[in-house]
Structure 1
Amino acid sequence: MMLVIRKIGLLSVLALLTSACNEQVKAGNQINTSIKKEEKQIPEEPNNNNKSYDFLFFPHLGDGFSTPFHERINSISKNKQQQTLRWNHTVTESTTELLEQWSLLNSSEPSSIFSVAKGIVQTETDTSFIIEHQFLENGKKKIIQVEYFPITPIENIKSVNRNQKIGTLKGTTLFTRIRWTSDIPIYKKPLQWYAENYRHTTLPASENQLLIVVKSEYTIYHFEKGKLIAEFDICLGQEPLGHKEVEGDNKTPEGEYRITEKEKGPFYGGTGPWLGDRWMHFSYPNRFDAKLGYEKGLISKTQYLDIEKTDLMNGKTNSYTHLGGRVGLHGWNGTFIANGTQDLTWGCICMQNEDIIELFEKIPMNTKLIILP
C-alpha cells in the first residue's frame, strides 16, 4: 500500500485502506473500548472521534499540583523577625488511605481552601468535598481522589480548576484524605509531595507542537495546540510489543520523551543509510526508565540519579548504559510497505523519507513525544 499523509477531512483516503488496515482499526477499537471502561464514571467524555489517544485530551486533565492554600501561606515571611510557617503539616498512612493534617498556627484571619489541581467533584457534604484529580505521568493517566474537610464548601460546584477556592476552613485544622479503592490506581504519595514534585504536569492540549505515537496502529500523530495536523505511517523495532528496558532488546520505548537532537543526512557508517534523510533523537532513557533500570539492577544509583537530574533539566540523557539509547525518529533506506506489520528497526521509529523531511521542518527542539502501546 502506498504511504499517504492522512490529514483531517481527506475521506477519500479511507477507500484506499486494505484489509490489513481494517485489522488495525479493529485493534484500535479494542483499545478504545478499554479506555471507555476505565473512564465510564467520568461525566464528560473526550471528543476526538474515539481515538486511542483520547484520554490525553480529557477536558478535566490537570496541569500540575499546589497545596490547599495560597502559596504565600506556605512560604516563610520575608521579614526575618517573623520567619514562621503558618501551617504545621503531618501525614498518617494506613492500608486504605493517607491522611494529612494541616494545623493553622496563626488563626488571625479566616482561611480559604483551594483545590490542589483541576478536577471533578465526586461528593459534596455540609463539611467536605471529595474531588477526583486526573493527570499524566510518563504518558499514562493517573487518578487520585482527595477529600477536603472540615470546610464550609461553596455550593453547586461540579468541576474545579487548580487553585480555585472550594470553601472556608472550619476551625484551625484542615484534613485532606487521599483514598484508594479497587477502581483507582494505588499511588501512595501525600499532597505535599505532589505540590513539590508535580508542580507542572504535561497537558497535551496546551502544547504548541506535540507528537503522539500509537504503536499498535503503526502511526505517528502531529498535533498543534491540541489540533490534529497530520498523521503518518511508521515502522517500529523488530520486537514491537512491550517497553524497551535494556540495550539490544530491539523494542521501541513507551512513555513521554522530548526531541533532544536534530540532524540532516546523509549519514555514514554501517547503519548510516538506514537512517534515511533525517534524524531526530529523543530522550530515552528518561527518569522513569532509569528508575526501573536501577530497581532491576541494570544501572548504578549514580547513573540513575544522573539520568533523573538531566531529564528534569530537559537535557540529553545518558545513552551509554545497559538501558541502551540513541533511539530516535528517522527516515528509511528506500521505501517500506505500510501493511501493519512493519517491525524493521533496532528500537527506533522510522518514517518514509518524504514524511520525516516534512515533519522535521515543523518540530522544534524539546517538542514532547508521547509513545503509547
Structure 2
Amino acid sequence: MPALALSRLRLVVLLTCSLGLPSVAPAAPAPDAFEAYLRPPHPPAEGFAPMPDGQTARAGSEVRALARGRVAEVGADGRSVVLEHLYYENHALLRARSEYSGLDGVALRPGTLVTRGQVLGRVGEKARPAVTLHSGRRLSAAEARRFTALRERLLLPAEEPSLLLISHDDFQLRLYARGRELARKEVSFGQAAGAKEVRGDNRTPKGMYFVTQKLRGDIPGPYSAFYGGHWIRVNYPNPWDAERGVASGFVDAKTREKIALEWAARRNTVASTRLGSGIGLHGWAGDWTLAESGGRLSWGCVVMHNPDIASLYERIPEGTMVVLF
C-alpha cells in the first residue's frame, strides 16, 4: 500500500476512535438454503419404530429410541430423556420430539447422538413408563401410532446416488451424487409465482419427485420448439399433492393410494386429475435471462439454459430424486 494511502487510513481510524463513532460489524453471510436442507445440525431419521405399548412393559425391560436423533434433555433424576429428531417429508426438513419417562439408568448427556433402537434406559421397578411423541404439539396415543406407522421408512436425500435440489427463491439448481455437489445452474420457473395447486395455474410445484422419462432431439407435441431439444420428466403429482387433492375434492381416496404407490416405485403417477401433470425440466426456444424474464417463462416446468441442460442431461439418470423447495 502506498505511504500516502496508509497515512490516510491511519487518520480515519484515529478519528473514529477519538470521536467515539460506533464500529460497524460486517454483515453475516446469508445461510445457504441448499446446505441447510442437505446438511442439518444432526443426522436425520431414516425411519421411526412403532410406538411401544407402555401398559405391557415390565420392570427392567429395555426402552429404545424410536428413531435416530439427538438428546435434547435428560431429567435431573436420570429417569427421563427427550430426543430431538429431524426428518424429511416432501420438500421440507421437519422436527419431532420423543419423550421417555419412568426409566432407570439413563446415562446419556444432552447433545449425544443416538440411533434408532438404541437402548436409552430400563423400565424402573416402581415407575409407570411412558413414551410420548411431539410433532408441533403432543400427539395422542392413536396419533403417535399413526405417525410412526406412516414413517417407518424415510428417504435421505444426501444418500441418493443422484439428486437435484432446485430452489424457487434462488432460481438455482444443484446436482449431487451421494451428497457431493457436482454442478449448479441457473433456472427459471412457471409464469405464476408460488407452488402449483391445480392444472393450468402456470405454477411450478414444490415437493419431492423422481425423474421418470428423458427425451432428447425432436420432442413430439405442439410445443416442441420450447423444449430446447431436451425433456426430463418428473412424477408430479406426489402423495402430498394427492392428499391436498383429496382435501380439495380433486382426487378420491383410491386415486390417492395409486399415486402414492406409483410415486414410491419412482414411476409416472396419475396424470388425469385436476392437480395437473406433465411437469419436468427442459431448455427453451432461445436465450433468456433472469433480468429480462423475471425467472417466469414456462407453464409450470423448470426451464434451463440450453447449454446447461445439454451438459447435465447424461448425468441425470431416470430415478434421480428431484426436490423443489
Query: Fold match, TM over 0.5?
Result: yes
Q: Select which of 311, 314, 321 maps to 1:368.
A: 321
Q: Select which of 93, 117, 120 maps to 1:166.
A: 120
Counterparts of 1:343 and 1:119, CA distance in 2: 40
**Structure 2: any 5+ residue segments left out of the alignment?**
1-26
SS at match of 2:244: helix
Structure 1's 102 and 117: CA in aligned 2 closer, same or farther, altered over 3 A?
farther
Aligned match of 2:222: 270
Whether the 8 Å CA contact 2:219–2:231 is kept in 1: the answer is no
Whether the 8 Å CA contact 1:285–1:323 is kept in 2: the answer is yes
Whether the 8 Å CA contact 1:128–1:149 is kept in 2: the answer is yes
Paired residue type of 1:120: R
1:122 lines up with 2:72 in the alignment:
yes
Whether the 8 Å CA contact 1:278–1:356 is kept in 2: the answer is yes
* TM-score, normalisation: structure 1: 0.72
RMSD: 2.5
Aligned match of 1:55: 37
SS at match of 1:147: strand
1:290 lines up with 2:242 in the alignment:
yes
Aligned match of 2:6: none
Residue 217 of structure 1, CA deviation: 1.2
> Which deviates more, 149-158 or 121-130?
149-158
Matches within 5 A, 1:135-214: 135-152=87-104, 153-156=106-109, 158-171=112-125, 174-179=129-134, 184=136, 190-214=143-167
Counterparts of 1:166 and 1:102, CA distance in 2: 18
Residue 312 of structure 1, CA deviation: 2.9
Matches within 5 A, 1:304-323: 304-323=256-275
SS at match of 1:176: strand
Paired residue type of 2:45: G
**Structure 1: any 5+ residue segments left out of the alignment?**
1-28, 34-49, 69-86, 90-100
Counterparts of 1:269 and 1:314, CA distance in 2: 24
1:303 lines up with 2:255 in the alignment:
yes
Number of paired residues? 290
Counterparts of 2:231 and 2:139, CA distance in 1: 37
Paired residue type of 2:114: V
Counterparts of 1:331 and 1:307, CA distance in 2: 27
Matches within 5 A, 1:187-266: 190-239=143-192, 241-266=193-218
Residue 102 of structure 1, CA deviation: 4.6
Structure 1's 187 and 260: CA in aligned 2 closer, same or farther, altered over 3 A?
farther
Residue 186 of structure 1, CA deviation: 7.4
SS at match of 1:217: coil
Q: Deviations over 1:191-239 (max 9, x none)?
A: 4334422122122221221100001111111112112211101110000
Runs of 4+ displaced beyond 6 Å? 185-189
How much identity, in percent, do the aligned residues show?
Answer: 26
